[in-house]
Structure 1
Amino acid sequence: MLTLPEVCDELQISRSTFYDWRQKNRAPRCIKLPNGELRIRRMDLDDWLDDCEDVA
């Protein structure tokens, strides 16, 4: 499971951009822990990236 900073670093986006995408239902699937922190499964991030791929 990846932390939010790890995902933002990999995607080269800011935390605010990630939260904006999440609010618009455009972010990868997240798991909210009891302490409020978010985690993203590697598989969910990879699937999301595959879905974002533009077929030229």
Structure 2
Amino acid sequence: MAYVISDECIQCGACADACPCSAISEGDGKYVIDADVCADCGSCAEVCPVGAPQEG
């Protein structure tokens, strides 16, 4: 199942830079993950300083 970004997101962009699928984009107030593109690899969660990306 694809990852989702929680409201803990501080919009640092680390997750988007780390995503090998380019599934993460800047949304309204936080980054968002396109579930249709997400490979469920966890790269975003590994680099996030606040743990915002979580398994959906």
TM-score by length of 1: 0.29
The answer to which structure has the higher helix fraction is 1
Q: Rg: which structure is higher?
A: 1
The answer to which structure has the higher strand fraction is 2
TM-score by length of 2: 0.29
